[in-house]
Amino acid sequence: MATKIFVNLPVKDLNKSIDFFAKLGYSFNPQFTDENATSMIISEDIYAMLLVEPFFKTFIKTEIADATKVTEALICLSADSREAVDELVDKAIEAGATTPNEPMDQGFMYGRSFQDLDGHHWEIMYMDLAAINQEQPAAEATAV
């Protein structure tokens, strides 16, 4: 079964958020864009719905988390290479993002993170599947 994911995120200024994510290379579906929201296309099956806070509030009964002060979620996306991780996170920083953590490098897995203009925490990760498969037999041997 094919599944699509729509992550809904509150934003303070929709135009600034659109400009920020456009600088990272993302596009937006004009069919689902107005003064209250936009549908940011991350991949064929992944979308981020950026909703201005008053509109976002119409979907919930609780308060909106201030993502600059608390972490409401970690949004993790994969990248095709270590260089792609660095390229995307560097673009985010140039566009105004902050970096909450140091880069993570475990050899077979490499990642960096950034917080967007509204404080949402994005993780960009690369996993070298060939390196994982090479390590697998050694791990199995020590477990026996």
How does pLDDT run across 101-126, given as a tens digit for each residue?
Answer: 999 999 999 999 999 999 999 999 99
Query: Can you give the pTM of this predicted structure?
Result: 0.86
What CA–CA distance (Å, rounded) separates 19 from 116?
11
Rounded CA separation 134/64 (Å) = 45
Q: Which residue has the higher pLDDT, 132 or 65?
A: 65
Give pLDDT, residue 135: 55
Count of domains forming the chain: 2
Residue 74 shares a structural domain with residue 142? yes
- Long-range contacts for 50-55 (Cβ within 8 Å, ≥24 apart)? 50/9, 50/11, 50/14, 50/17, 50/18, 50/21, 51/8, 51/9, 51/10, 51/11, 52/10, 52/11, 52/12, 52/13, 52/14, 53/10, 53/11, 53/12
Let me know: does 45 contact 3? Beta carbons within 8 Å.
Answer: yes
- Distance (Å, whole) CA 118 – CA 18: 12
Domain that holds residue 34: 1-64
Whether 54 and 71 map to the same domain: the answer is no
Domain end position, chosen among 37, 64, 91: 64
Residues 49 and 98 in one domain: no
Domain boundary among 22, 38, 64: 64
* Residue pLDDT, tens place only, 16-75: 999 999 999 999 999 999 999 999 999 999 999 999 999 999 999 999 999 999 998 999
Same domain, 60 and 79: no
Q: How confident is the model at residue 86 (pLDDT cuts 50, 70, 90)?
A: very high
3-state secondary structure at position 131: helix
Q: Are residues 109 and 124 in the same domain?
A: yes
The predicted structure's pLDDT at residue 142: 45
Query: Higher-confidence residue: 141 or 61?
Result: 61
